[in-house]
Amino acid sequence: MTRDSRSPQRLQLPEITSRGAHLLIWIYFVTMSGLALLALDDVYVPAIVYLSILIFGAIWLALTRDTNERVSVRVSLFVIAASVLTTLLSSWNAITGGFSQWYVGAGALAMFYLGLRGRDLLAWVGFAAIGLATIAWGLTTEDRLVEAFVLVARQAPIVLVGSLFSFGMKRTSRKLEHVHEADTIRVAAEAAALARTAERSRRLASLDAAVGANLQRIADGEELSEEDRDELLIAEARLRDSLRARQLDLPEVVAAVQRARRRGVVVLLLDDRYPLALPSGALSSVIDASVRMLDAAHSGTVTIRLLPAGRQLLATLVADGDGYTRVELDSTTKGPSSQ
């Protein structure tokens, strides 16, 4: 199969809920926890540091367990509440700046991840709450208000990058969707064109096999005998059969039809079921009944008709010659019934 005839591959953005992305989150958690433990000498109560690390562990666990492309509102609210709680617990516990204020960066990264997961508004609400808690600490602590503002301002770009990246991913995703749709339409159009070409080639081959030799004799100026003209009439009827009874265009049926027509029998094939296919297992019954009726006819008319889908009868076969015979093929039974 050529490259152009294959189905297009769907273009996708990198997964932000994959194992690799989760591994990066947990690597950051371990690093953040290590920095927090290194700064135990810069806090009043070390137990608060341990508790804050556990809270952030719960935050990362909730974020990694929610594997939907867009994180749920419930998980988002939990992440925000837990981040603000950690900020309130840890802010007044820090004696000096530096690694002892790790919780602000950790909260900002949690909001960054919320933004990546399609919760931009909630991410900014959460970061604003973290910022207000930090500024409240600065207001209630001697000469540390400026430090609080600087601390919040330094982390804001992290959340901004998450929102911008999320916005860029959405735009790129929409563009990839359009590219995929256009590619699908193109491939479908090419497949339809190939199908039309194949059908045309099949019909031309059928036409050449049926009348090609005689048409060439006519083109060469040869005189046709009465027998040749009869064969041309049979070939013409064969072509009509292939158009109006496609599902009966089978080697066994075609051969039986040709034999009957050469005996002078008028044969009419109809397919009112097309394009719906025959039920599974029914084809052999149709072939057997058709061949038997055609071989038994020596005069008159034989009409074989596939009925529309949805009826109890699958097909009717009528022979009107020396006598009258009607065979009905029931779509719910295997055997034919005769009248």
The pLDDT value recorded for residue 294 is 93
Q: What is the pLDDT of residue 218?
A: 73
Average pLDDT, the chain: 81
Distance of alpha carbon 146 from alpha carbon 125, whole angstroms: 22
User: What are the contacts of 264-268 at 24+ separation with CB within 8 A?
Assistant: 264/298, 264/299, 265/294, 265/297, 265/298, 265/299, 265/300, 265/301, 265/302, 265/321, 266/300, 266/301, 266/302, 267/237, 267/241, 267/294, 267/301, 267/302, 267/303, 267/304, 268/301, 268/302, 268/303, 268/304
- The segment with the largest mean pLDDT, out of 31-35, 166-170, 220-224, is 31-35
Statement: the pTM of the whole predicted model exceeds 0.75: no
Q: What is the pLDDT of residues 17-27, one digit of tens each?
A: 567 667 877 88
- When pLDDT is averaged across residues 117-127 and rounded to a whole number, the result is 85
What tens digit of pLDDT does each residue of 146-160 get?
888 888 888 888 788
Q: How far is Cα 80 from Cα 159, in angstroms, rounded to an integer?
A: 13
pLDDT tens digits along 280-334: 778 888 999 999 999 999 999 999 999 998 888 899 999 998 889 899 988 765 5
Q: What is the pLDDT of residue 62?
A: 87
pLDDT of residue 304: 93
Band of pLDDT at residue 94, cut at 50, 70 and 90: confident
Q: Look at residue 160 and give its three-state secondary structure.
A: helix
Q: Could you tell me if 319 and 300 are in contact, meaning their C-beta atoms sit under 8 angstroms apart?
A: yes
Is residue 335 over pLDDT 70?
A: no
Asked if pLDDT for residue 6 goes beyond 50, the answer is no
pLDDT of residue 7: 44
Mean pLDDT lowest for which of 30-34, 59-63, 122-126, 331-335?
331-335
Banded pLDDT at 14 (limits 50, 70, 90): very low
Residue with tokens 């290194």: 38
Q: In this predicted model, which residue has the larger pLDDT, 243 or 56? A: 56
Architecture of domain 240-338 in this structure:
2-Layer Sandwich (3.30)
Nearest to 267 by CA among 281, 244, 276, 285: 244
Q: What are 38-74's pLDDT values in tens digits?
A: 888 888 888 998 998 899 889 888 888 887 778 888 9
Residue labelled with tokens 């109890």: 312
Q: Does the pLDDT of residue 1 top 70, yes or no?
A: no
For CATH 3.30.565, the residue range(s) in the chain are 240-338
What integer pLDDT is reported at residue 233 of this predicted model? Answer: 80
Q: What CA–CA distance (Å, rounded) separates 336 from 323? A: 19
Calpha distance 16→22 (Å, rounded): 8
**Crossing angle between the packed helical segments 73-91 and 102-116, to the nearest 10 degrees:** 170
Rounded to 5 degrees, φ, ψ at 336 are -80, 160
- Per-residue pLDDT tens for 244-291? 888 888 889 999 999 999 999 999 999 998 888 888 778 888 999 999
pLDDT for 337 = 57
